[in-house]
Amino acid sequence: MRKLFIAGNWKMHNGVKDTEDFFNELFNLVSNYEKVDIAIAPPFTSIPKAVEVCRTKRVLIGAQNMYFEDKGAFTGEISPQFLKELNVDFVILGHSERRHIFGETNDLIAKKLKKALNEGFIPILCVGETLKEREDEKTETVLKEQVDSAFNNLTPDEAKRVIIAYEPVWAIGTGKTATPEIARDAHFFIRKRIKELYNSIVADEIRILYGGSVKPENAKSLLQVDQIDGALIGGASLKAQSFAEIIKIGM
Ligand code: PEP
């Protein structure tokens, strides 16, 4: 049984004060969430506050990006060692905004993924097609390329520890959500590919989240799809109220 994973990606929102307020409100709204893994990736500068306020709570705190080297002349990058000092649990890699705004390639993302696993983080690897790629019927080609490249250098034990987030680029921050059928087909394809690359044990264990305009109003229909093991949520994770509503749907 794969445990449901509900993660928030705050992007460049919620500074230190908003982070403290968010968690205080969230813990007033939800308790007894044993059946669900809850995770939040604040901006780097809000991570220490998030870790502090969640110290006695079962909430995973993550980073939205990470470099694959420990130190050096890499202005503006963040070392995995710095994240370890902050007790970060997970790291989002290959988010579509990193791929499409900041030009991250499959090769770079594969290096980061290997490093994140070596350092003991839970990686959330984002994959997904653009609208043009979907219209050109290239969704499966793109997903295959992204998955194959990321997993190219991983052992079965490493592969099992990766969480994949299927995030169709056309659904991120646009208010357009993939239908449960579209999401199910993409998740099924990704899991099938993992089985081809490894075996059915790895494919059955790996968690695949859906991301793309998940909101309290559509979370139920998505989370009840058997292939969908949770959600990666942008906009609706910024406020404790809407994030709590989605967690409750998962409970
Ligand atoms: C995301 O940032 O990963 C995301 C899915 O954003 P949103 O929920 O706002 O579409």
Q: How many CB atoms are closer than 10 A to CB 133? A: 18
Over 90: is that where the pLDDT of 173 sits?
no
Q: Rg (Cα) of the chain, in Å, rounded?
A: 17
Instruction: Provide the sign of the torsion angle of the four alpha carbons 176, 102, 236, 184, taken in this order.
Output: positive
Q: Give the pLDDT confidence score for residue 155 in this predicted structure.
A: 97
Return the bridge partners of 90, or none.
62, 122
96-139: per-residue pLDDT in tens? Answer: 999 999 999 999 999 999 999 999 999 999 999 999 999 999 99
Taking residues 9-20, report their average pLDDT: 98
Q: Give the pLDDT confidence score for residue 33 in this predicted structure.
A: 86
148, 109 Cβ separation under 8 angstroms: no
C-alpha angle 29-7-124 in degrees, rounded to nearest 5: 165
Q: Distance between CA 187 and CA 192 in Å, rounded?
A: 8
C-alpha angle 140-142-144 in degrees, rounded to nearest 5: 65
Tell which phi-psi region holds residue 110, choosing left (phi > 0), alpha (psi between -120 and 50) or beta. Answer: alpha
Ligand 1 centre distance from Cα of residue 96 (Å): 9
Q: How many CB atoms are closer than 10 A to CB 72? A: 9
195, 238 Cβ separation under 8 angstroms: no
Query: What is the rounded (10 degree) CA torsion for 144, 150, 155, 160?
Result: -80
218 within ligand 1 shell (Cβ under 6 A): no
Structural domains in the chain, sorted by start: 4-250 (3.20.20.70)
Give burial (CB, 10 Å; 0-12/13-18/19+) of 31: exposed
172 within ligand 1 shell (Cβ under 6 A): yes
- Residue 173 labelled as part of a binding site: yes
134, 148 Cβ separation under 8 angstroms: no
- Residue 235 labelled as part of a binding site: yes
Task: List, by residue number, the catalytic residues.
Answer: 95, 167
234 within ligand 1 shell (Cβ under 6 A): yes
186-237: per-residue pLDDT in tens? Answer: 999 999 999 999 999 999 999 999 999 999 999 999 999 999 999 999 999 9
User: Mean pLDDT across the chain, nearest whole number?
Assistant: 96
- Which pLDDT band holds residue 251 (cuts at 50, 70, 90)? confident
